Amino acid sequence: MKRALVTGAVLALVATALYSGGASAARPRGLVGPLSDAQGNMLGTVRMIGTGDGKTSVKIKAAGLAPGFHGFHVHAVGICDPAATDAGGNPSPFVTAGGHYNPVTTNTHGAHAGDMPPLLVAEDGTAWLKFVTDRFLPKELMDADGSAIVLHAGPDNLAHVPAATATGGERYHSHVDDVFGADTATKATGDAGARYGCAVLERVTS
C-alpha cells in the first residue's frame, strides 16, 4: 500500500511537470509586451527572443481587432499612456511611445530598424504573426527609456509611394508637401493612422 501511494505521488508530480512544462521548460529569456487599447482592453501579447545568430524572433497573437491590415512597429520609448495629448492639447493615445525605433536617423519609413510587417487581422478579429528580423536584438531595445510596440488603426504602405513610373513619368503627387512620391508624413509613419494599441516591452528572465 505504501509503495502504491509513493508511485501515485510520483506520477502526480510527473503529470504536473508535463502540464506546466517543468523547470526545464521555463519561459525563454527575451522580451514580452501585453498589448492593450486606449480603453484598457487587452488585445494580445507580443514576444521577442534572440535566436543566437544575430537575429530576433518576433511573435504576436491578438484578438478583438478590426479586420484587415494594421501598421505594426517598434517605437522608441517604453511608455504607453492612453490619456496622452499632443502638443496642441488634443487627445493622442500612446504618443508617449515616441517615433519609430530608428537609431540610424537618416533612414525613412520602410528602412527604420523598428519597422515590422503589417499585421493581417482575420474577419473574426484575430491575428497571429511570427517572423525573424536582423534589424534589432532584444537587448538593443532595452535602452535607458525602453521601447514599445504600437499597433496602428490603419494599413501601412511602408512609404512605398513611387514618384515616377518605370519609364520616368510622373506618378503620385502629394498636395501636402507639393512633391512627387512620399511626403514627410508618409516617410515617417507610412500613413498607418492613429495608434490603436500599445505594449511596453519588458524583460523575461525565467
The 3-class SS string of the chain reads: CHHHHHHHHHHHHHHHHHHHCCHHHCCCCEEEEEEEECCCCEEEEEEEEECCCCCEEEEEEECCCCCEEECEEEECCCCCCCCCECCCCCECCCHHHCCECCCCCCCCCCCCCCECCCEEECCCCCEEEEEEECCCCHHHHCCCCCCEEEEECCCCCCCCCCCECCCCCECCEECCCCEECCCHHHHHHCCCCCEEEEEECEEECC
Alpha carbon 194 to its chain centroid, in Å, reads 15
- Read off the pLDDT of each residue in 133-157 and give the average, rounded to a whole number: 96
Between CA 139 and CA 151 the distance in angstroms is: 21
At residue 28, the pLDDT reads 56
Between CA 51 and CA 160 the distance in angstroms is: 30
At residue 187, the pLDDT reads 83
- Read off the pLDDT of each residue in 82-110 and give the average, rounded to a whole number: 94
Q: Which CATH number applies to 27-156+191-204: 3.40.50.300, 2.60.40.200, 3.40.1190.20, 2.40.110.10? A: 2.60.40.200
Q: List pLDDT tens digits, range 35-85.
A: 999 999 999 999 999 999 999 999 999 999 999 999 999 999 999 999 999
At residue 7, the pLDDT reads 39
Could you tell me if 91 and 117 are in contact, meaning their C-beta atoms sit under 8 angstroms apart?
Answer: no
Could you tell me if 58 and 47 are in contact, meaning their C-beta atoms sit under 8 angstroms apart?
Answer: yes
- For the chain, the domains span 27-156+191-204
- Read off the pLDDT of each residue in 158-168 and give the average, rounded to a whole number: 84
pLDDT-wise least confident of 23-27, 115-119, 161-165: 23-27
Evaluated on CA atoms 65, 69, 71, 72, the torsion sign reads: positive
Return the top range by mean pLDDT from 101-105, 150-154, 173-177. Answer: 150-154
- Read off the pLDDT of each residue in 14-39 and give the average, rounded to a whole number: 65
- Read off the pLDDT of each residue in 28-37 and give the average, rounded to a whole number: 91
Q: How confident is the model at residue 29 (pLDDT cuts 50, 70, 90)?
A: confident
At residue 5, the pLDDT reads 41
List the end-to-end C-alpha distance of the chain, in Å, as a whole number: 39
Which cell is 113 given? 530598424
Q: How many CB atoms lie within 10 A of CB 166?
A: 7
More confident residue, 160 or 148: 148
Could you tell me if 98 and 160 are in contact, meaning their C-beta atoms sit under 8 angstroms apart?
Answer: no
Which cell is 80 given? 504607453
Dihedral (Cα; 131, 136, 141, 143), 10-degree rounding: 170
